[in-house]
């Protein structure tokens, strides 16, 4: 019964299913998403028209996740903005 040959190049993504994707079309091109171009975003399956579009998205999300992890809001703003010399 298990005659399907599945390429599992990178583990987790092999379990993602097209029918579980929250979107129907690729955000980059507007084309229908493809079953081999899925990834997880915030715990949800999202799809792209091809693996190149997916990889571009993954690179962007990793970039911002790393930036957010390192981000420290500045709480002492420079006070030269509203200086009135009288
Ligand atoms: Zn695309």
- The domain locations on the chain are 1-71
Q: What is the pLDDT of residues 22-40, one digit of tens each?
A: 999 999 999 999 999 999 9
12: phi then psi, degrees, rounded to nearest 5: -50, -40
Task: State the number of CA atoms in the 13 A half-sphere of 25 facing the CB.
Answer: 5
Question: Can you give the pTM of this predicted structure?
Answer: 0.67
Distance (Å, whole) CA 52 – CA 38: 11
CB 46 within 8 A of CB 58: no
CA 41 to centroid of ligand 1, rounded, Å: 16
User: Which residues are close to ligand 1, an ion, with C-beta < 5 A?
Assistant: 26, 28-29, 48-49, 53
Report the share of the chain in percent with pLDDT over 70.
72
Distance (Å, whole) CA 73 – CA 29: 35
Distance (Å, whole) CA 39 – CA 60: 13
* Least-confidence region, from 22-26, 42-46, 72-76, 78-82: 78-82
């Amino acid at each position: 019964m298990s005659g399907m040959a599945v390429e599992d190049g990178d583990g987790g993504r092999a379990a993602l299913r097209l029918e579980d994707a929250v979107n129907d079309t690729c955000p980059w091109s507007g084309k229908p998403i493809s079953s081999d171009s899925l990834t997880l975003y915030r715990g949800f399956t999202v799809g792209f028209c091809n693996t190149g579009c997916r990889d571009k998205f993954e690179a962007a999300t990793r970039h911002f996740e790393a930036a957010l992890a390192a981000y420290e809001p500045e709480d002492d703003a420079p006070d030269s903005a509203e200086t009135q010399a009288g």
